[in-house]
Amino acid sequence: MTEDRRVFDYLLRLADSDLVLAQRLGEWVGHGPVLEEDIALTNVGLDLLGQARLWFAYAGEVEARFAEAGRSEDALAFLRDSGEFRNLLLVEQPNGNYADTMARQFYFDVWHQLLLVKLAHSRDPRIAEIAVKAEKEVVYHAERSADWIIRLGDGTDESHARIQAAIDDLWMYTGEMFDPDEIDTPLAEEGIGCDLRALEPAWREAVGSVLDEATLTLPGGTWMQRGGKKGVHTEHLGHMLATMQWLPRTYRGAEW
């Protein structure tokens, strides 16, 4: 695999996780537990959607270096099937109840911030530039989701039980975040990507300390689901894409 192909695939991973999570957050709009949360969830969703668009735009440019032409952000978002999506399995999990949504967000945000801090020093100046911009937004996402974990964990008996269940249920999708493959490893060595394994201790520490404060227990399970980066997804992604992609696929070639 050429370097450009690797970078292209790497950018899709970043873009797809942002897009898929933004799409999930978009499902909440109008249905949040309180108006302020509707606004906040939409804010986070809009940030992630904006970041996805930046990654897609660069991915299209990189693709043009090895393919006949680079695809547009919309071609990448709407005309790839689930097997070509490179997002983490975690972010495609359904919204569930508010605890499920917040646990998913929390696991992701902590990782996302750690990753972007590293990518801000990427030798690829475009990756560094996007990461710097995105990290400024993700700091707030991570603060907000940690606050909710603490509130729900140390709130009522019901909220405690719900958030613990969500934290436990989603745990098996967190391993993938620290699991480098034949794309991550060379890119990390070249200083373009980052060493995913090195993120894990910091992530565990940050997650553990928030869970402690929330009076919650860090799950002990060791079996981790994998496949997102290779395009082997859970059943949920196909349904999401069916909804998201239906219009541009039905009216092929149309401008919107």
Question: Site residues (CB under 8 A) for another protein?
Answer: 19, 23, 26-27, 29-39, 42-43, 45-46, 49-50, 52-53, 56, 73-74, 77-78, 97-98, 150-152, 154-156, 158-159, 162, 243-244, 246-248, 251, 254-256
Q: Considering the complex, what minimum distance in angstroms separates the CB of residue 118 from another protein?
A: 26
Q: Considering the complex, what minimum distance in angstroms separates the CB of residue 142 from another protein?
A: 19
Number of Cβ within 10 Å of residue 188's Cβ equals 17
- Distance CA(75)–CA(109), nearest Å, equals 27
Number of Cβ within 10 Å of residue 83's Cβ equals 11
Q: Considering the complex, what minimum distance in angstroms separates the CB of residue 25 from another protein?
A: 9
Nearest residue (CB) to another protein, 65 versus 246? 246
- Please say whether the beta carbons of 109 and 186 come within 8 A: no
Q: Within 13 Å, how many C-alpha atoms sit on residue 89's CB side? A: 22
Nearest residue (CB) to another protein, 2 versus 156? 156
Nearest residue (CB) to another protein, 32 versus 238? 32
- Please say whether the beta carbons of 54 and 130 come within 8 A: yes
- Please say whether the beta carbons of 112 and 87 come within 8 A: no
Q: Is the dihedral of CA 68, 70, 74, 79 positive or negative?
A: positive
Q: Considering the complex, what minimum distance in angstroms separates the CB of residue 81 from another protein?
A: 17
Q: Considering the complex, what minimum distance in angstroms separates the CB of residue 108 from another protein?
A: 19
- Please say whether the beta carbons of 192 and 131 come within 8 A: no
Measured at the CA of 134, the angle between CA 82 and CA 129, to 5 degrees, comes to: 105
Nearest residue (CB) to another protein, 51 versus 122? 51
Q: Considering the complex, what minimum distance in angstroms separates the CB of residue 159 from another protein?
A: 3
Query: What are the φ/ψ torsions at residue 6 (nearest 5 degrees)?
Result: -65, -45
Nearest residue (CB) to another protein, 56 versus 111? 56
- Distance CA(153)–CA(103), nearest Å, equals 11
For 133, counting Cβ atoms within 10 Å of its Cβ (0-12 exposed, 13-18 middle, 19+ buried), the class is middle
Nearest residue (CB) to another protein, 16 versus 184? 16
Q: Considering the complex, what minimum distance in angstroms separates the CB of residue 30 from another protein?
A: 4
Nearest residue (CB) to another protein, 147 versus 195? 147
